Amino acid sequence: MIYRMGAALMSLVGLFVSAYLYLYKIGRIGSLACGSGSCETVQASPWSRIAGVEVALVGVIGYAGLLLVAMMAVQPALAARRWPPTLLLTLAAIGLLFTIYLTSLELFVIHAICRWCMGSAAIITSIFVLALLDFRRGAPGGAAIPVGPEPHSAR
Amino acid sequence: MASASVGMKQFYAVLGAVVFIGIGALGYLLAKPATVSIPANVTVQPSDTAGFKGYLKGSPNAPVEITEFADYQCPFCQTFATLQMPTIEQRLIDTGRLRWRYMDFPLQQHPFSRLAAHSAACADEQGKFWPQHQRIYEGQAEWTAARSAVNIFHEYAKANGLDLARYDSCMQAGKYAGRIQASYEQGIRLGVSSTPTLLIGNRLYQGRFDSDAITRLVDSLAPRPTS
């Protein structure tokens, strides 16, 4: 359960980081607390939008989805179900792959590293690791600790 | 079961604290004014104006020179720049009869004037002063209404093909704050008190101008050669 709680907390932090970047992008925050100007360069680049949608907004939606799934997963009623950790791990893996793509763009195409984006990359990596540990713990043959009977085992 | 309940309580407490801090931080950032600002109270250094005598447009051999003291956030300056200047440029500047010198005169009551002037100055560093200058005037209604104009100027810089890393670095450093203040102080010394003000010869002209009036003025100062 501790892994799911950790994933929920990190998703919440990621949600705020993405919201901050999105508010900057739409001009509601004067400048980023970044110091180097690289975040502005990244945010102003053509890669700051995907199919007409701000990448920061994709982040907001993604972290909100992760938060929702992690919050469901921590509910005692769902503790023994397999789908919450599976879904959490799947979403975290998609987020991690997307982050790797964005980071490679920063490194090799835009040639600017945004510290806030790096912060988001660290957050999604930690969520992925927590989701993976949670998934392995509950996997057949893993170190799963039974929390309670399956709801339908009482029949 | 009791320990699990305590664990959940602790979890929700930490979650609530993160929500509280996050919303508080975002609310603070939304409420505070733009953090990139160009200070007015700078002491002008000789290096600020070394080799700089305003932004020039037109032939150095033009018989007439007009110096304009203007403010990017002034509505009359905006109308003049967007409606009258294209005609003046076509009739007088491009034909070699007039040389135009633009000087910043940011008025105190306009919060984004210096920022706009600085954006144009940073564009000048990359040889793009006039496109940035024009775009800033054209977008005056857009950025005047914004909470933060700095991002909008950044978008203009991007549209004008500026090296954005260099532009951002220039903006954040406030590199031309002294030069803008020097232009303002020069205007004050000459007696400029409102914008736009034109300096033609040794005389100041204040108020609204149109391209026909400027053409008549140039005609009177440097009559067209008759064939």
Predicted model pTM:
0.54
Average pLDDT over residues A75-93: 90
Any bridge partners for residue A50, and if so which?
A53
Place of tokens 């932090």: A13
Task: Flag whether pLDDT at A148 surpasses 60.
Answer: no
pLDDT of residue A49: 79
Task: Return the closest-CA partner of residue B91 out of B214, B225, B220.
Answer: B214
Place of tokens 């160009």: B38
Both structure tokens of A32: 């980023």
Average pLDDT over residues B214-227: 81
Domains and CATH numbers, chain A: 2-31+42-140 (1.20.1440.130)
CA distance B2 to chain A (A): 12
pLDDT of residue A40: 64
| Chain A residues whose beta carbon lies within 8 Å of the beta carbon of residue B30 | 23, 28-29
Average pLDDT over residues B174-186: 90
| Chain B residues whose beta carbon lies within 8 Å of the beta carbon of residue A46 | none
Between chains, do B30 and A23 touch, taking CB under 8 Å as contact? yes
Residue A66 Cα distances to A70, A87, B26, B215, angstroms: 6, 9, 21, 66
Does B175 touch chain A if contact means CB atoms closer than 8 Å? no
| Chain B residues whose beta carbon lies within 8 Å of the beta carbon of residue A16 | 18, 22, 25-26
Decide if B78 contacts B198 (C-beta within 8 A). no
Does A8 touch chain B if contact means CB atoms closer than 8 Å? yes
pLDDT in tens, B115-146: 999 999 999 999 999 999 999 999 999 998 88
Interface test with B, best of A1, A2, A4, A5 (most B CBs within 10 A): A5
CA distance A128 to chain B (A): 19
